[in-house]
Chains A and B, each alone.
Chain A
Amino acid sequence: MDLKLHVWRQKDASDPGSMVEYQAKDVSPDMSFLEMLDVVNESLVQKGEEPIAFDHDCREGICGACGMMINGVAHGPQRGTTTCQLHMRHFNDGDVVYIEPWRSGAFPVLKDLMVDRGAFDRIIQAGGYISVNTGSAPDANEIPVPKQAADTAFEAAACIGCGACVAQCPNGAAQLFTSAKVSHLGLMPQGQPERWRRVRGMVAQMEEEAFGSCSNHLECEAVCPKEISVDFIARMNRDYIKATFKGDDS
């Protein structure tokens, strides 16, 4: 099949950038979306044009590096799927495809479709961990974890940090990402000692970064490749309200 692509091209962070039109010819339905872009890039290099820059690494949907807005949807039309796992059989001959980078105040564009998601790392650094030095841990079976808690914690922990939630949110908010880590650790018995401190720290950092706030549109949940539930946002809000009034003594 042949496609017409409109791709955001931007030389670097200071360049204003613009949409550029490309033809993707002889696209096989078995290609992944990124492989389709690989082919376009090879042809660009042959023509002496600089290839389109985009982040990607594992190409099996787990590292969270890839991600772009495809026709106005983060990671494209297939639910629960990262861009690298989206295959071209979901497109038709002659389709026009708009490809844009994640956009949020907190995700400045570095080049083309590549953005800086360092804000996510800083949110984790603000408390998204359990303070346990290597070697100081008790036997792993000393603290039982109810299976239900472990399972729900896992669902939150499945977050790959790709940023689709922020990209799709009309406000560019990072609530789903932040709440997933707050909930993962807050659900585990091991995470209890720092539970209140953690939610305060992580929320404060989230708000310091240029993310928007949550209007409960649920767009994030709809595009999350790991289908993480907005229930975790409510859970974080609850913990945050409690933590705000509890203060530092707990």
Chain B
Amino acid sequence: MQWMIEIYRSAMFKKVVMAVTGLMLFGFVIGHVAGNLKIYQGKYVDGIHQGEYKLDVYAEGLRELGAPVLGHGQALWIARIGLLLAVALHIWSAYQLTLVNRRGRPQAYQKVTPQASTYASRTMRWGGVIILFFIVYHILHLTTGSVHQSFEAGQVFHNVVRGFSNPLVSGFYILANLALGLHLYHGIWSLFQSLGLNGQRFNDLRHKIAVAFALIISLTNISFPVAVLTGVVHL
């Protein structure tokens, strides 16, 4: 068991935890964004769901995942617990590594001129905090509805459009997703490094993959409030 204690103590291992949980959360974000695109598909025009918003049906369908082995909503809860665990570990390793890094540079320079680091890489810590606040708000806003002015359970499309009609709310979503984009850009690239996923031919591609995903995810997410505010998507 000695070796497990050793890796638990190791900062390199915490980077691995950071990368693996980051990858999980990244996977979730992709799925989440892809599902959200249903907002642009409007209502079913025929069939059993005729007249219902496709987004609402999709959201309800998520609760049926795993049936008949799992009961209603169980798969969703398993996923939620998994994600919560991933978030917790992601934050824990970030906190631990921050302590290590403070120890690594106990006294600051009078003058520092960054040479290669990016705005994204330097803002991972505070960007992460902003994203955490956003996630909490997002859940209270569109999952539980606690901070939503006209929340109706199950009426996802309605909740989204009503929620985003408030420019302040939309503004915060846009801001948070810009932060998410930066966080993802450095995070995706960085996880290749931390997990040792490199190779002569692959190296250049890593940055491109990171840029592409960060852009796709944050722009798509930003498009929702914009679409509501501009009236492209409406009730």
Chain A positions near chain B (C-beta within 8 angstroms): 6, 8, 19, 69, 71-73, 98, 100, 103-106, 168-173, 203-204, 207, 210-219, 221-223, 230-231, 233-241, 244, 247
Contacts and interface: CB of A to CB of B under 8 A. Distances in A.
A107 to B, nearest CB: 10
A100 B193 contact: no
**B interface secondary structure, majority:** helix
B230 interface: no
Interface stretch (B103-111, B129-137, B162-170, B211-219): B103-111
B122 A216 contact: no
B144 interface: no
Contacts of A19: 110
Nearest to B198: A234
Contacts of B124: 215
**Which of under 10, 10 to 19, 20 to 34, or 35 or more describes the interface residues of B?**
35 or more
A168 B112 CA distance: 8
Interface of B: 3, 6-7, 9-16, 97, 100-118, 121-122, 124, 186, 189-190, 192-198, 203
**A interface secondary structure, majority:** mixed
B12 A211 contact: no
28 contacts: A6-B110, A72-B112, A73-B113, A103-B105, A103-B106, A104-B104, A105-B105, A169-B104, A172-B105, A173-B101, A173-B104, A203-B10, A204-B10, A210-B103, A212-B101, A215-B101, A216-B193, A217-B122, A219-B116, A222-B115, A230-B193, A234-B197, A235-B196, A237-B16, A237-B196, A238-B197, A241-B195, A244-B7
Contacts of A241: 16, 195-196
Given A234-B197, A241-B16, A247-B3, A213 B97 contact: yes
Contacts of A71: 111, 113
A170 B117 contact: yes
Contacts of A230: 193
Given A217-B121, A222-B116, A172 B101 contact: yes
Contact of B198 (A104, A207, A235): A235
B176 to A, nearest CB: 22
A105 B104 contact: yes
B210 to A, nearest CB: 11
Nearest to B108: A103
A219 B117 contact: yes
Contacts of B196: 234-241
Contact of A72 (B107, B109, B198): B109
A100 B9 CA distance: 32
Q: Which 9 A-B residue pairings sit nearest by Cβ, starting from the closest?
A: A212-B104, A238-B196, A172-B104, A72-B113, A222-B115, A217-B117, A171-B101, A222-B116, A234-B198
A37 B16 CA distance: 44
B102 to A, nearest CB: 8
A221 B111 CA distance: 19
Contacts of A103: 105-109
B115 to A, nearest CB: 4
Contacts of A169: 104-105
Contacts of A214: 15, 193-194
A231 B202 CA distance: 11
Contact of B15 (A72, A104, A213): A213
Contact of A231 (B14, B121, B122, B203): B203
A71 B64 CA distance: 61
Contacts of A213: 11-12, 14-15, 97, 100-101, 104
B104 A237 contact: no
Nearest to B121: A217
Nearest to A175: B12
Contact of B193 (A98, A223, A234, A240): A234
B105 A233 contact: no
A171 B113 CA distance: 14
Contacts of B107: 103
Contacts of B16: 237, 241
